[in-house]
Amino acid sequence: MARYLVTGGAGFIGSHLAHRLVADGHDVRVLDNLATGHRHNLAEVEREVEFIEGSFVDFDVCRRAVEGADYVLHQGALPSVPKSIELPRETHAANVTGTLNLLVAARDAKVKRLVYAASSSAYGDTPTLPKVETMPAAPKSPYAVQKYTGELYCRTFFESYGLETVALRYFNIFGPRQDPNSPYSAVIPRFVRACREGRAPTIFGDGTTSRDFTYIDNVVEANLRAATAPAACAGRVYNVACGERIDLTTLAETIRKAVGRGAPPEYAPERSGDVKHSLADWRRAEEDLGYRPVVRFAQGIEKTVAWYLAEG
């Protein structure tokens, strides 16, 4: 049994990690300021987790949160390209300053390893597919710059201080508990909500934009492996994805069929900062972490839609 700190643990990804860690018998502490997370995401495990309400932008909060932790799974962020364009200073504070605070606190507390939720947005719009970790970064939004900066800090803290860090570049995570009501919500919960309400989902662009959509269980598995895998190269970056390329028109039609109602998608101008195509090569994660996708796209959509429909 180990003690884990999950930042952003009341959010979409963080709450899934907290549930899994509790099920596996670990001590779990959650840090979340509830800016985008929700306490109800932890309702089933609230008696088994220690909850700290606070922001990792506050260094004193970071020091309290990491005390006694063996591993830190740093999921906390303001994860939105549009929001980073609208509010670059505020998102920088959370995504960069907050990450630096946590790294310093983890170093001082002698944490065994910190796993950082990085982003595939670091690759930018380079035309080469699939994306491989050795490709140069080319971020095209403040959010992408911020998340990439976190990667650099993680590597530097390993090289400078010996703090073991692993960065996982997530590719378009989806699944139950992803909030469809946020103005910055991800595309899949927005499409599901539109279809449930009998509306046409809105696609920004001509519909050919493609993503490597990755079900949440894959991310949970990657984090747990990254925290403890002996072969994980500290300071290294790993893609976490399925290696499947799905365009947005196909996504909309798949969700409409799964929901059983809704209208064909409507198209709007492309948004600033959006990447056109994204597809991952995850062989490095397989070699070092033993990672393989446990749930593929089609099965993940079925699970996700079923959850939203059951939630009403």
Residue 119 belongs to domain spanning: 3-174+216-243+279-294
What are 114-150's pLDDT values in tens digits? 999 999 999 998 889 999 999 999 999 999 999 999 9
What are 239-281's pLDDT values in tens digits? 999 999 999 999 999 999 999 999 999 999 998 888 899 999 9
Domain tally, the chain: 1
Q: Answer yes or no: is 274 within a domain.
A: no
For the whole model, what pTM was predicted? 0.95
Q: Answer yes or no: is 106 within a domain.
A: yes
Q: Answer yes or no: is 103 within a domain.
A: yes
Backbone angles phi, psi at 273, to 5 degrees: 90, -10
Give me the CATH number covering residue 10: 3.40.50.720
Residue 162 has pLDDT above 70, yes or no: yes
In the prediction, which pLDDT does 183 show? 62
Mean pLDDT rounded to a whole number for the chain:
95
Annotated active-site residue 143? The verdict is yes
What are 61-104's pLDDT values in tens digits? 999 999 999 999 999 999 889 999 999 999 999 999 999 999 99
List residues bridging with 65 in a β-sheet. Answer: none
* Lowest-confidence region among 157-166, 177-186, 203-212: 177-186
Q: Answer yes or no: is 20 within a domain.
A: yes
In the prediction, which pLDDT does 184 show? 61
User: What tokens were used for 226?
Assistant: 């990254």
Q: Would you call 97 helix, strand, or coil by DSSP? A: helix
DSSP 120-172: GGGGTT---SSB-TTSPP---SHHHHHHHHHHHHHHHHHHHH--EEEEEEE--
Spot the catalytic one: 4, 116, 143, 238.
143
Q: Answer yes or no: is 196 within a domain.
A: no
